């Protein structure tokens, strides 16, 4: 139903603007609107079938693998492949605010230099 459409589904459907860095048939990569690190991008599957990682099943295996490969590729393109974190928040109590699966790539200068930095809490 329309009222259930998430912000990310609207971005995928070009109903909301975003800074898109990458797109293929299975996913998009956008800049996070409220970055928690100097590099903070979101890898978002186009499928709306997986609200949380815990909702994924074996039929999503290839897609989940693809998202990890895109994460590695994006880390190289963004020049952070030496030091980055890949985060999936699952559930509101873990900080998930958008219930459409997404992976965060987080990297910062402080992190590159060996200190975790405030933004990693």
CB of 41 or CB of 60, closer to ligand 5GP: 41
For residue 33, state whether it binds ligand 5GP (rule: CB under 6 A): yes
Minimum distance from residue 93 beta carbon to ligand 5GP (Å): 12
Pick from 7, 64, 78, 83: which binds ligand 5GP (CB under 6 A)? 7
For residue 119, state whether it binds ligand 5GP (rule: CB under 6 A): no
Pick from 32, 49, 73, 119: which binds ligand 5GP (CB under 6 A)? 32
# chain residues binding ligand 5GP, by CB under 6 A: 14
Nearest-angstrom CA–CA distance, 72 and 67: 9
Cβ atoms within 10 Å, residue 68: 12
For residue 90, state whether it binds ligand 5GP (rule: CB under 6 A): no
Residue 98 carries which DSSP code?
Answer: S
Q: Pick from 8, 85, 105, 14: which is nearest to 50 by CA?
A: 8
Asked if 95 and 1 touch (Cβ cutoff 8 Å), the reply is: no
Q: Catalytic annotation on 60?
A: no
Two tokens, residue 64: 């989940």
């Amino acid at each position: 139903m329309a009222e259930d459409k998430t912000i990310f589904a609207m971005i995928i459907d070009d109903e909301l603007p975003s800074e898109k860095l990458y797109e293929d048939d299975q996913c998009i990569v956008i800049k996070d609107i409220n970055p928690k690190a100097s590099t903070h991008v979101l890898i978002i599957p186009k499928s709306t079938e997986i609200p949380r990682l815990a909702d994924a099943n074996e039929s999503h295996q290839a897609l989940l693998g693809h998202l990890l490969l895109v994460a590695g590729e994006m880390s190289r393109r963004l020049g952070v492949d030496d030091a980055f974190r890949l985060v999936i928040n699952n559930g509101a109590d873990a900080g998930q605010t958008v219930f459409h699966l997404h992976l965060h790539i987080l990297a910062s200068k402080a992190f590159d230099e060996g200190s975790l930095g405030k933004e990693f809490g």
